């Protein structure tokens, strides 16, 4: 019998209906038995007698001009069928977010005359066997002229930093601004009015989704010129649409089949493997597999962006936060992928689940010569929460206020105006704090136990 956490029905009792028959029951997860008995079929479990394999020759420099690419030795490796360069990619420059109208298309499927990060793909080698593809990829010769690299988000924004992006700025431009902005109230006035001002810095290193199954696909040419893509993508149509645009082919030429994913966590929405596998399948007219090795998954596939966050708070002696200014630097790495979106999502999340009358945020999506970062569970929010909640703990200690009472004093409630000017509704921060306090025997004074998210705060 599965472990089931208690549902405490005392909270919000008058808002809960309970006249369900199937909803609310612990029905067994439909894929559970297949997983534990080894019967689940992943994309790699499909066998094709003439399956070919793709491996990549990658940049060894953070930032360099490509002077020449010599594939002649690769082609001499027994079993190598083709090499694929940017000349074989119909629409080489892309941005996955183009589907929602985000521009510019800042990333090449295969590098042209420059590489912007260690591990950037330059040449794809298609071969009869995985071993031949690896050998072929290793024999590609690229000569480079190294260029100065930028590896720090704040250095990338300094006026004397080399501009690494062809579009002219080391940051994503949000409708003319260098950052996604939040402007609510007047933070300077808030700081002036505050009894205390606290400013601290937080940061994180990039992390990996670490799925059990690495990112990959098998593309099988069909009769009638269609391509069937067996993929572990998290988003079948997102993959199909982006792939068709890169291939410059009708969308109806492609079929994506998936639905069994050995761990996603946001790591399988980048549409990296499918376009090259489709090109390889088309050029060789054979089924083609392109799957990341574990090393590629760890060092080449998009990590969660590293972030740097400065939070400056104006706080009254009683713990009310009256102003919060946040400077956020999200390390997008060399290309945009999903990070311009995640940075906006970060802005929407600020200043956290608290009602603060004056909020100012500049959320920068910054380009550096690192592995491009992208979506990951908690996109735009996880690192901000680390910073905000560390900040709350430090303020509570500085003012000698109980850490939960400080949060309850500032907790947002129904009807409060958020910094992005949406009226809060369905809030429940107060209640989860109250319930967690009870779980660990952390006593709260009666006035804090009496608080409610649906009761408007006193003016």
Partner 1 sequence: MALLRGRGYASVNYPTGMNLGGDPSQALIHATTMGGFVVSLSSVDLGQGLKTIAAQCAAETLGMPMDNVIVDTADTDTGPHCMGTFASRGTHRVGNAVIMAAREAREVMLQVAAEELEVDADDLETDGSGFVRLKGSPETKIHVQDIALAAHFKQGRTISGRGIFLKERSYPVPETGEMDPDSAQAHACTVAEVEVDDETGIVTVLSLHNAYEIGRALNPAMVTQQVEGGAWMGVSHAVFEATEPYYPSSRAHGPVDFCEYLMPGPAETPVQTSVILERPASNGPFGAKGIGEMTANAPIPAVANAIFDACGVRITVMPFTPESILRGLDELRDAEPSA
Helix (H) or strand (E) holding 125: strand 121-127
Q: Which is nearer to partner 1, 88 or 331 (CB)?
A: 331
Residues in the chain: 459
CA distance between the termini of the chain: 50
Answer for the pair 372, 300: CB distance below 8 angstroms, yes or no: no
Within residues 73-112, the interface with partner 1 by CB under 8 A covers 97, 100
240: contact with partner 1 by CB under 8 A: yes
**Contact between 37 and partner 1 per CB under 8 A:** no
422 touches partner 1 by CB under 8 A: yes
Residues 282-301: x/- map of binding to partner 1 (CB under 8 A)? ------------xx--xx--
Structure tokens at 381: 């929010």
**Which residue, 287 or 353, has its beta carbon nearer to partner 1?**
353
Q: Which is nearer to partner 1, 71 or 428 (CB)?
A: 428
Interface size with partner 1, residues (CB under 8 A): 134
| Nearest distance from C-beta of residue 361 to partner 1, angstroms | 7
Does 192 participate in binding partner 1 (rule CB under 8 A)?
Answer: no
One residue of 163, 210, 317, 398 binding partner 1 per CB under 8 A: 210
Report the residue from 121, 266, 351, 357 that binds partner 1 according to the rule CB under 8 A: 266
Q: Is the dihedral of CA 80, 82, 84, 87 positive or negative?
A: positive
361: nearest Cα among 353, 374, 349: 349
- Alpha-carbon distance of 30 to 251, in angstroms, equals 31
Other CB atoms within a 10 A radius of the CB of residue 375 amount to: 27
Is residue 177 within the footprint of partner 1 (CB under 8 A)? yes
Token output for 284: 């060789």
Q: CB neighbours (10 Å) of residue 183?
A: 14
We find the least distance from the C-beta atom of residue 127 to partner 1, in angstroms, to be 23
Mapping DSSP to helix (H, G, I), strand (E, B) and coil, where does residue 217 land?
strand
The answer to whether residues 92 and 86 touch, using CB atoms and an 8 Å cutoff, is yes
Least distance (Å) between residue 72 CB and partner 1 = 29
Q: Does 191 bind partner 1 (CB under 8 A)?
A: no
389 is an interface residue for partner 1 by CB under 8 A: yes
| Residue 6 vs 458, nearer CB to partner 1 | 6
Q: Strands 216-221 and 288-291: what pairing?
A: antiparallel
Beta-bridged to residue 182, according to DSSP, are 361
Binding of partner 1 by 146 (CB under 8 A): no
What is the three-class DSSP state of 266?
A: coil
Contact region for partner 1 (CB under 8 A) — 52-60, 134-142, 206-214, 279-287? 206-214
For partner 1, the closer of residues 7 and 459 by Cβ is 7
Instruction: Spell out the residues 6+ positions from residue 235 whose beta carbon is closer than 8 angstroms to its own.
Output: 269
Task: Report 326-365 residues binding partner 1 (CB under 8 A).
Answer: 331, 341, 344-345, 347-349, 352-353, 361
184 contacts partner 1 (rule: CB under 8 A): yes
């Amino acid at each position: 019998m599965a472990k089931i956490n208690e549902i405490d029905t005392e909270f919000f009792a008058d808002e809960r209906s309970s006249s369900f028959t199937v909803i609310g029951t612990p029905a067994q997860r439909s894929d559970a038995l297949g997983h534990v008995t080894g019967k689940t079929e992943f994309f790699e479990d499909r066998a094709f007698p003439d399956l070919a394999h793709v491996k990549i020759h990658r940049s060894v420099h953070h930032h360099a001009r490509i002077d020449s690419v010599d594939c002649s030795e690769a082609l001499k490796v027994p079993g190598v069928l083709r090499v694929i360069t940017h000349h074989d990619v119909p629409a080489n420059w892309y941005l996955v977010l183009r589907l929602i109208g985000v521009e510019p298309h800042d990333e090449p499927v295969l590098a042209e005359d420059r590489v912007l990060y260690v591990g950037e793909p330059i040449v794809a080698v298609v071969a009869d066997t995985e071993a031949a593809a690896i050998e072929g990829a290793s024999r590609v010769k690229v000569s480079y002229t190294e260029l100065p690299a930028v590896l720090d988000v704040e250095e990338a924004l300094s006026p004397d930093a080399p501009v690494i992006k062809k579009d002219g700025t080391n940051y994503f431009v949000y409708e003319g601004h260098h950052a996604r902005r939040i402007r609510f109230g007047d933070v300077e006035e808030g700081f002036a009015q505050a009894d205390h001002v606290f400013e601290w810095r937080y940061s994180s290193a990039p992390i990996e989704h670490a799925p059990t199954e690495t990112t990959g696909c098998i593309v099988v040419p069909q009769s009638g010129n269609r391509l069937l893509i067996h993929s572990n993508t998290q988003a079948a149509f997102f993959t199909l649409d982006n792939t068709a645009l890169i291939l410059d082919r009708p969308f109806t030429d492609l079929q994506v089949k998936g639905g069994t994913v050995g761990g996603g966590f946001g790591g399988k929405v980048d549409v990296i493997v499918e376009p090259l596998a489709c090109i390889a399948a088309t050029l060789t007219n054979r089924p083609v597999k392109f799957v990341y090795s574990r090393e590629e998954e760890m060092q080449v596939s998009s990590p969660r962006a590293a972030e740097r966050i400065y939070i400056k708070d104006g706080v009254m002696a009683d713990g009310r936060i009256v102003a919060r200014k946040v400077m956020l630097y999200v390390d997008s790495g060399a290309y945009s992928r999903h990070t311009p979106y995640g940075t906006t999502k970060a802005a929407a999340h600020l200043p956290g689940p608290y009602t603060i009358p004056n909020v100012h945020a500049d959320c920068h999506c910054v380009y550096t010569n690192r592995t491009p970062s992208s979506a990951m569970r908690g996109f735009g929010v996880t690192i901000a929460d680390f910073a905000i909640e560390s900040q709350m703990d430090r303020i509570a200690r500085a003012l000698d206020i109980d850490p939960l009472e400080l949060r309850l004093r500032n907790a947002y409630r129904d009807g409060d105006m958020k910094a992005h000017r949406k009226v809060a509704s369905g809030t429940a921060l107060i209640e989860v704090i109250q319930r967690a306090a009870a779980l660990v025997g952390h006593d709260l004074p009666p006035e804090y136990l009496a608080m409610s998210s649906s009761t408007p705060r006193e003016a």
